[in-house]
């Protein structure tokens, strides 16, 4: 079959607001977060896409409630923004990729999000299931797309970039139709850039239209205060030795008058916006230019690499948007963007200066991380128990044996973490 028309890259905005933070993994009580305020402010700032999942606790409900308000309904018609969600992962260890559950999951997401259609549906964390299960789920989503139109574009998400590439290549070979979108998380960060060095060319060759980069802080790893500890405790799969190395790098950033999270956010957004261009998009870039529906042609002739950001309050959103727009001001024809948006030529000059600062600081951080550069944890970890309800595998639970050949990179002498890697779009 031919690729979906029109291609997703012609429509999807290059900046997506993720909602994994609307969850007890990142926050003690997600219901206490100002989620409606975050969503409303994001729309007001020009963000036109939201990523979520049934697996993210109450995230779909909270996002749906924020969208099902007079403020949104009167100011932002449904065709003006994109909703991206997922199927297949039910809980930390429970998966169901069966055709029946895929349909039930789609219906549940439609109900929770108060929408008649979903712009993108991913098969969630495909590394935890077999290639056959992933293929079945993609085919079922395509049937829903073709029969009902309630799903527009279809993709996969997960952590190990090799697995994502293998699944994308397999699906193209078996069906003749490429995936519309493949999302990776924590694989293009200040610490790990394997989405670019390992996966980019393979996913492009597999015909994937868009490859969003999620979790630019490595699920909160690249923060001065360390990994987030929410209502579920310390879920982060990183080993303590890596955390110590990042803390040392963070202390060095402090000594330079900066913060590691500020460096890390700009490093990931600014580099992926350029490097991810071949699998980027031409949707509304949220540049701040008022009174017009924007297209990427206003910023440059090229697409922009797509990033997913996640925040827990409006202040974090505002700061992230300042960084994003500063990055846009620093693009090849960013002077026009800065002037038309009302920020001005001085903002472009500041952006160019900040580019150099972050480049120098990033080099310093990466030198201090040493052999931890491009380290990736095992997902799923050897011995991780998967509870399945799928029609393809009625044996439950199943214990994963260590793989014969691993794609995990770690410094010599350090054991791999035996902790489940949890998907997140947290910046």
Active-site entry in 56, 159, 185, 375 = 56
Q: Using an 8 Å Cβ cutoff, are 18 and 212 in contact?
A: no
Check the CA dihedral 126-130-131-133 and report its sign.
negative
Mutual angle of helices 240-255 and 345-369, in 10-degree steps: 130
H/E element, 340: helix 334-340
Reading the block at residue 146, the tokens are 């073709």
| CA distance linking residue 90 with residue 349, whole number of Å | 47
| CA distance linking residue 357 with residue 340, whole number of Å | 26
| CA distance linking residue 227 with residue 237, whole number of Å | 10
- Our answer to whether residue 56 is catalytic in this structure is yes
Reading the block at residue 112, the tokens are 């929770």
Question: Who's near 327: CB < 8 A, 6+ residues apart?
Answer: 266, 269, 270, 273, 351
Query: Between the CA atoms of 362, 368, 369 and 374, what dihedral angle is there, to the nearest 10 degrees?
Result: 50
Q: Count of CB atoms within 10 A of residue 240's CB?
A: 9
> End-to-end alpha-carbon separation of the chain, Å?
36
| CA distance linking residue 40 with residue 61, whole number of Å | 15
- Residue pointed to by tokens 């992926």: 272
- Category of 29 on φ-ψ map: left (φ > 0), alpha (ψ -120 to 50) or beta: beta
H/E element, 338: helix 334-340
Question: Who's near 145: CB < 8 A, 6+ residues apart?
Answer: 4, 151, 152, 154
Q: Using an 8 Å Cβ cutoff, are 99 and 393 in contact?
A: no
Pairing state between β 213-214 and 181-185: parallel
Q: Using an 8 Å Cβ cutoff, are 371 and 411 in contact?
A: yes
H/E element, 243: helix 240-255
Reading the block at residue 354, the tokens are 């900040």
| CA distance linking residue 408 with residue 210, whole number of Å | 24
Residues marked active site are found at 56
């Amino acid at each position: 079959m031919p690729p979906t028309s029109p291609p997703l890259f012609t429509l999807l905005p290059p900046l997506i607001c993720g909602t994994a933070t609307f969850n007890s993994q990142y926050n003690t009580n997600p219901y206490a977060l100002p989620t409606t305020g975050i969503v409303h402010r994001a729309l007001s700032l020009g963000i036109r896409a939201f990523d979520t999942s049934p697996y993210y606790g109450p995230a779909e409900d909270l996002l749906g409630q924020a969208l099902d308000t007079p403020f949104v309904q009167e100011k932002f018609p449904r065709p003006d923004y994109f909703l991206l969600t997922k199927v297949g992962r039910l809980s930390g260890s429970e998966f169901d990729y069966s055709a029946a559950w895929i349909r039930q999951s789609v219906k549940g997401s439609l109900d929770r999000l108060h929408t008649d259609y979903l712009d993108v549906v991913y098969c969630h964390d495909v590394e935890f299931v077999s290639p056959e299960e992933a293929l079945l789920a993609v085919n079922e989503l395509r049937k829903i797309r073709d029969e009902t139109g309630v799903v527009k574009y279809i993709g996969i998400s997960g952590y190990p970039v090799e697995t994502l590439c293998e699944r994308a290549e397999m699906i193209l070979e078996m069906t003749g139709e490429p995936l519309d979108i493949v999302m990776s998380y924590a694989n293009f960060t200040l610490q790990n850039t394997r989405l670019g060095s390992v996966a980019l060319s393979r996913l492009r060759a597999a015909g994937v239209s868009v490859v969003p980069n999620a979790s630019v802080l490595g699920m909160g790893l690249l923060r001065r205060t360390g990994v987030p500890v929410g209502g579920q405790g310390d879920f982060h799969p990183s080993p303590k030795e890596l955390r110590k190395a990042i803390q040392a790098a963070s202390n060095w950033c402090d000594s330079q008058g900066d913060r590691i999270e500020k460096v890390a956010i700009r490093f990931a957004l600014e580099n992926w916006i350029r490097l991810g261009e071949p699998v980027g998009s031409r949707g509304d870039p949220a540049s701040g230019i008022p009174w017009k529906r924007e297209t990427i042609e206003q910023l440059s002739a090229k697409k922009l690499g797509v990033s997913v950001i996640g925040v827990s309050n409006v202040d974090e959103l505002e700061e992230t948007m300042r960084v994003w727009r500063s990055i846009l001001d620093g693009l090849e024809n960013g002077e026009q963007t800065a002037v038309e948006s009302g920020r001005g030529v001085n903002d472009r000059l500041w952006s160019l200066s900040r580019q150099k600062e972050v480049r120098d600081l990033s080099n310093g951080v990466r030198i201090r991380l040493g052999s931890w550069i491009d380290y990736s944890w095992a997902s799923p970890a050897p011995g991780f128990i998967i509870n399945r309800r799928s029609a393809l595998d009625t044996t439950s639970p199943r214990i994963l044996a260590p793989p014969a050949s691993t794609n995990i990179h770690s410094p010599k002498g350090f054991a791999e973490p035996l902790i489940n890697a949890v998907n997140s779009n947290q910046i």
